């Protein structure tokens, strides 16, 4: 089965601080995704990538940047974290037929 890992699993940040969430996949999938999950909103797409060096804006990109330095790694960067970015963040990789999700990162911004 596809293996997607995320780090850290839990993070507490201060308002205005910089936060980097990391994702690694070992399945050689071209496409990788970052979502956030909040009660009442389901999973919402923040950024995605078609391959190394590419990033695309998803449905809610404001306040987030993404970086895809290699096929395996995809990072989500919050340059100036705000309390509204408190959420659970999921990374996923996959192709047309299926997306495989990582275990999630719980981020709290105080």
- Footprint on this chain of other proteins (rule: CB under 8 A): 31, 33, 35, 40-45, 48, 50, 58-59, 90, 95-99, 101-104
Q: How far is the CB of 19 from other proteins (least distance, A)?
A: 20
Please write down the HEC assignment for all residues of 18-58: CEEEEEEECCCCCEEEEEEEECCCEEEEEEEECCCCCCEEC
* Nearer of residues 90 and 109 to other proteins, judged by Cβ: 90
* Nearer of residues 73 and 101 to other proteins, judged by Cβ: 101
* Nearer of residues 18 and 41 to other proteins, judged by Cβ: 41
Q: How far is the CB of 32 from other proteins (least distance, A)?
A: 10
Determine what percent of the chain falls in helix, strand and coil, rounding each to the nearest 5.
5, 55, 45
Q: How far is the CB of 43 from other proteins (least distance, A)?
A: 4
CB 91 within 8 A of CB 75: no
């Amino acid at each position: 089965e596809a293996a997607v890992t995320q780090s850290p699993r839990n993070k507490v940040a201060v308002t205005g601080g910089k936060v980097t969430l990391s994702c690694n996949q070992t399945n050689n999938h071209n496409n990788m995704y970052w979502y956030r999950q909040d009660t009442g909103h389901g999973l919402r797409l923040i950024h995605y990538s078609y391959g190394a060096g590419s990033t695309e804006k998803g449905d809610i990109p404001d306040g987030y940047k993404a970086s895809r330095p290699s096929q395996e790694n995809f990072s989500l960067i919050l340059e100036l974290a705000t309390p509204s970015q408190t959420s659970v963040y999921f990374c996923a990789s996959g192709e047309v037929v299926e997306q495989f999700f990582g275990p999630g990162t719980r981020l709290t911004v105080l």
